Amino acid sequence: MIQKIVCCTTPPVVTPTTVPPQRPTSLPVRSIPGGYGWPVVGPLADRLSYFWFHGPTTHFKKRIEEHKSTVFRTNMPPTFPFFTGVNSNVIAVLDCKSFAHMFDMELVEKKNILIGDFMPSTSFTGDIRVCAYLDTSEPQHTQVKKFAMEILKRSSKIWVPTVTSNLDTMWNTIESDIAKSGSVSPLIQLQKFIFNFLSLCLIGADPSKSPEVAEKGYMWLDAWLALQVLPTVNIGILQPLEEILLHSFAYPSFLVSGGYNKLAEFIEKEGQEVLELAENEFGLSKKEALHNLIFILGFNAFGGFSVFLPSIFNTLGNDKTGLQQKLRNEVKEKIGTNSLSFDSVKQLDLVNSFVYETLRLNPPVPLQYARARKDFTLSSHDSAFEIKKGELLCGFQPQVMRDEKVFDEPEKFVADRFTKEKGSELLNYLFWSNGPQTGSPTESNKQCAAKDYVTLTTSIIVAHMFQRYESLTIDSSGSISAVEKAK
């Protein structure tokens, strides 16, 4: 399917990599402050601070103030009691300059550390170490990353019309729900939209061919994702139940294997063309291709969009500056009622900046990890630190993206922050995609293969919204209670 439908649209253009320089440095060398505490006690204390007593944001801010440094030693969950094989010791890097070292593949490696030193069982992914857990030095990383970039390239022919047709379906349903109940959270319809268009674009598989997949596919992915990351994620439910039930042990994969296996069967049947591509052109076995595809679809794409897109609605709901009207005016002036495309939304400076600013303050993946490949000197804005081979670096992006030495008024949402020349320069420091927004995903790095597709797709979603509607009444939680059709 992905090869048969042709649409006149240009795929996102990959931009050259620009990472703030890290070496050499003339800054004073300082010993890394902080520590790990007593065995068991220190990691447990940091875990409780992170999840319970302070929450992630305050947890990191208090330690920056305590150590007078954005680089320090601490522990990151999961920890005691049932994670005996996990080393919780990390070096936190919480400013843009130190954080950028995590994308220099000469300095760091990424083997098995997607969510820290803890790695979920490969039984969640068909007993395959999928690409996200492979380091760039491993040959299979090159094979899978090239495969991922190729299916994205091929999908560009149908991407935009598939997105817009599924958006029409989503909005029709939301309008009907508003008429029935007065107010509706868009989350479920968003997730159905995300699952449908990604299945069609990435795999060439139409969920409507399986009523059960069409109805439950997104829920299967939600459960599969949740069980893998629960020990590392702050939920914010009633404590101490969260600590006892969610953060103290890893959940087994058999709890979600039923839905996962049904998805695998569906993709194996409906995505034959893509699986054959992986086998014939990239040297992957059918099993490797299948489970990497599910991970790309479910974890990378569906999971990322499911976290990020609600932030778009929440931001519009919290805005008191007339942002909706400004966005609507730009869409009306530059595109009007013409069909949307990747090329047309690139003209929308404010819409694109709005998307970038939402990513800055609400990165879909808040934590990044990298392990030192060798001894090296890491620099923050004011000091240098000696990192030893094997030490694990941890960056908390919501803090990094509030670096006051890079972003003016870093705590404030500024919709046009990334416009004009200064805004373009700031894209060098927008790291949501496992690399800078100005970077290029390649087989030799770990940057998200769909980096440009994510931002442009979100801009298409926003542009489509303001082609269809004059305004939307959205509350601070993102729920929609009224829509006014475009005139």
Binding-site entries: 448
Q: Is 215 exposed, middle or buried (0-12, 13-18, 19+ CB in 10 A)?
A: exposed
For residue 53, count other CB atoms closer than 10 A to its CB: 13
- Dmax over Cα atoms in the chain, in whole Å? 66
What is the distance between the alpha carbons of residues 441 and 447, in angstroms, rounded to a whole number? 5
Are 225 and 287 in contact by the 8 Å Cβ rule? The answer is no
Question: Which among 358, 317, 354, 350 is positioned nearest to 331, based on CA atoms?
Answer: 350
CA gap 146, 278 in Å, rounded = 10
Report the distance separating Cα 377 and Cα 387, nearest Å: 6
What lies within 8 Å, CB to CB, of 332 at 6+ separation is 466
Phi/psi-derived region of residue 321, left when phi > 0, alpha when psi is between -120 and 50, beta in every other case: alpha
| 3-state class (DSSP) for residue 237 | coil
* Tokens at 484, concatenated: 């006014």
Q: How buried is 237 (Cβ within 10 angstroms: 0-12 exposed, 13-18 middle, 19+ buried)?
A: exposed
List the structure tokens of 6.
């042709």
| Complete edge-to-edge strand list for the sheet that includes strand 392-396 | 71-75, 89-93, 392-396, 367-372, 108-109
Could you tell me which residues are beta bridge partners of residue 108? 372
Q: How far apart are the first and last CA of the chain?
A: 36
Q: How many residues does the chain have?
A: 487
From the list 297, 472, 342, the residue with the least C-alpha distance to 8 is 342
* Token output for 132: 């996200």
CA–CA gap between residue 329 and residue 335 (Å, rounded): 10
Dihedral through CA 372, CA 373, CA 375, CA 379, nearest 10?
-50
C-alpha separations of 113 from 163, 281, 358 in Å: 32, 28, 26
DSSP 248: S
What the block records as the tokens of 204 is 């060439």
Structural tokens at position 378 = 């890491």
Residue numbers belonging to the annotated binding site for heme: 448
Whole-angstrom Cα distance, residue 103 to residue 19?
A: 8
Place of tokens 């998307």: 355
